[in-house]
Amino acid sequence: MTFFKDLFSNELFVAAATGWLVAQVLKTIIHTFITKDFSIERMYGSGGMPSSHSSTVTALATSSYFLHGADSSEFAISMILAIIVMYDARGVRRETGIQAKVLNDLIELLADVHNEIMPLDEKLKEFVGHTPLQVVAGSILGFGIACLVHLCF
């Protein structure tokens, strides 16, 4: 039981985990509002507004700054991690999602012509990456959450 007590009294962990959880809940609410369709996959899936990856790593880096300062190894590591994660979410993973959409459309088009190319229930995942706005929104959310968590600790 000491493990969980220690874990949930760790400001870095609490800020990062809260950043992820709040972003995932918001992502689900926003998706439901826009599409008028509730999807539980939005609660744990990647992609969408706001970026939970960005929220998580920004909350981690911000909390690290509050606790250890800008000249610490902890802050340097968490900041570099945040930059890599946000770059990847906006870049490589977003392109993967765009390519998946094109391939799904092509498969659907070809399936109309030739019925047995690929079952339509096996579409490639299109929600993989983020737009720049989704990354920025996640970062702002993560920063705000880290500030709130720091005030509570």
| pLDDT tens digits for range 95-112 | 676 777 777 777 777 666
Would you say residue 123 has pLDDT above 90?
Answer: no
Reported confidence tier of residue 19, pLDDT bands at 50, 70, 90: very high
Share of the chain above pLDDT 90, in %: 55
For range 4-15, the mean pLDDT = 94
Beta carbons within 8 Å of 31's beta carbon, 6+ residues apart: 37, 39, 42, 48, 49
What pLDDT sits at residue 126?
60
The residue with greater pLDDT, 67 or 130, is 67
Q: How far apart are CA 72 and CA 11, in angstroms?
A: 16
The domain limits of the chain are 2-90+131-152, 92-128
**Residue environment code for 20-45, b if the CB has 16+ CB neighbours within 10 A, otherwise e:** bebbbebbbeebeeeeeeeeeebeeb
How far, CA to CA in Å, does 147 sit from each of 8, 127, 141?
17, 29, 10
What pLDDT sits at residue 46?
76
The residue with greater pLDDT, 99 or 61, is 61
Would you say residue 125 has pLDDT above 90?
Answer: no
3-state SS, residue 6: helix
